[in-house]
Structure 1
Amino acid sequence: MLTKDHAQEGLSRAYVQAVAAAARANLRMGHEFDYGFDGTFDSIASRIGMDSKGEPVHRYVNAGFPIDFQLKCTWTWTSDDADIIWSIKTKAYNDLVTRPPEAVAVILILMCLPTDEREWVNISEDAILLRKCCYFTTLTGTPTVTETSTKQIRISRRSVLDAANLSSALVAERRRRMELF
């Protein structure tokens, strides 16, 4: 039987895969080596070429304006009217806040699960219900001195990771990167 941590990881990965597919974004997870980030989103660009008969053909490629992400999953979150509140390990926090501003954007994705494991997934003939949801944010701030503690962060409850918000984030990242050059 999977450990609770691995079950949480599997559910958070399934959520991200579903959102990326709904947003029609390319998703890469499970890089060969893990250097602090779990995956990358990229929008898709279309270009038109010609086949051997001179007919137009569409070719789809990564647009080249990716967003990296770190994916976390927890049932130890709280909330108030505006925010999700969670304590992130400072090692992970430092990975997120030390990315240079001119580099590819990086976001934290936090899947918030109910405390009762029996509520995490409900499947019927009509639907798969995965509770609760993922939120995302870009963390900024000063790195912590020690990497063996936690730091409380707040994520806006309006920042639900869904297809529309992912698409908007990819458009914003493209715009941001274009302005750099």
Structure 2
Amino acid sequence: MMELLQRGYVTSVAATAGCTTEIVANDKWGIDVQFVRPPLSAAQSESMLFAQLKSTTQITPDPKKDFFSYQFTKRQYFDHMVKLRSYPKAVLIVMTVPQKQLEWTEVSHDGLLTKRACYWVHLEGQTAGSNVSRPTVRIPTKNVFDAFALTDILDKVDRGDSLHD
């Protein structure tokens, strides 16, 4: 169920940013979703970004701190995120949710509120010891995944800028 909630979240963010999402049905390369932004003119090409989606009930990020730690459940998920990619680039998107499923969302006449948020990080080039089976990474709390962040990431990819902070 957390996967469905996160797919809804990232799809909503993408729509707000003017992008589409393509869910990758068979996760063989550590990619769960592909974001596609249409070209701004006929002379340009579309922008793309891969993402691996992870959800957890074990973390409540503190926005007063610079980061929170996320531990992969399998080494292969980490390995897919750290490999060098020319294009498209890939980010890890971690969603934190309350432990009780009925607390994940709140509905009012003003709209649907998803409790907690998704955070993103670009892990390309990072390393972990060969004997580490469940690597831990730091996710910056400033990297809330929203439409502004997705647009900024795609702009950086288009310019060839680094996604590392």
Q: TM-score, normalised by structure 1?
A: 0.77
Q: Give the superposition deviation at 1:144.
A: 4.7
- Identify the residue that residue 48 of structure 2 maps to in structure 1: 66
Q: Secondary structure at the match of 1:166?
A: helix
- Residue 72 of structure 2, aligned match among 83, 88, 93: 88
Amino acid at match of 2:33: G
Deviation at 1:85, TM superposition (A): 1.8
Amino acid across the alignment from 1:21: A
d(CA) in 2 for partners of 1:62, 1:25? 15
Work out the CA distance in 2 between the residues paired with 1:175 and 1:78: 34
**Paired letter, 2:79:** N
Q: CA deviation at 1:173?
A: 0.4
Runs of 4+ in 1 over 4 A off after TM superposition: none
Contact 1:20-1:27 within 8 A present in 2 as well: yes
Conservation of the 8 A alpha-carbon contact between 2:13 and 2:146: yes
Whole-angstrom distance in 1 between the partners of 2:155 and 2:149 = 10
Aligned in 2, Cα 1:71/1:42: closer, same or farther, shift over 3 Å?
A: same
The amino acid that maps onto 1:72 is K
Which residue of the partner structure matches residue 137 of structure 2?
A: 153
Given candidates 113, 128, 132, the residue that maps to 1:129 is: 113
Matched to 2:143, the amino acid is S
Q: What is the match of residue 11 of structure 2? A: 17
Cα distance change on mapping 1:63 and 1:127 into 2, 3 Å: same
SS where residue 164 of structure 1 aligns? helix
Larger Rg: 1
- 1:62 CA drift (Å): 8.8
Partner of 1:116: 100
3-state secondary structure, aligned to 1:95? helix
Q: Which of 25, 34, 37 is the aligned partner of 2:27?
A: 34
Taking the aligned partners of 1:16 and 1:85, their CA distance within structure 2 comes to 21
What is the match of residue 55 of structure 1? none
Q: Which has the higher strand share?
A: 1
Report the alpha carbon displacement of residue 158 of structure 1 after superposing the two structures with TM: 0.7
Instruction: Structure 1: give runs of 5+ residues left out of the alignment.
Output: 1-6, 49-60
Cα separation, 2, equivalents of 1:79 and 1:111: 10
Picking from 52, 55, 75, the partner of 2:57 is 75
8 Å CA contact retained: 1:76, 1:86: no
Q: Contact (CA 8 Å) 2:57, 2:99: kept in 1 or not? A: yes
Instruction: Give the CA deviation at 1:26.
Output: 2.0
Say whether the 8 Å CA contact 2:14–2:20 is kept in structure 1. yes
Identity %: 27
2:38 is aligned, of 22, 40, 44, to: 44
Q: 1:114 to 1:97 in 2, by over 3 A?
A: same
Alignment length (residue pairs): 156
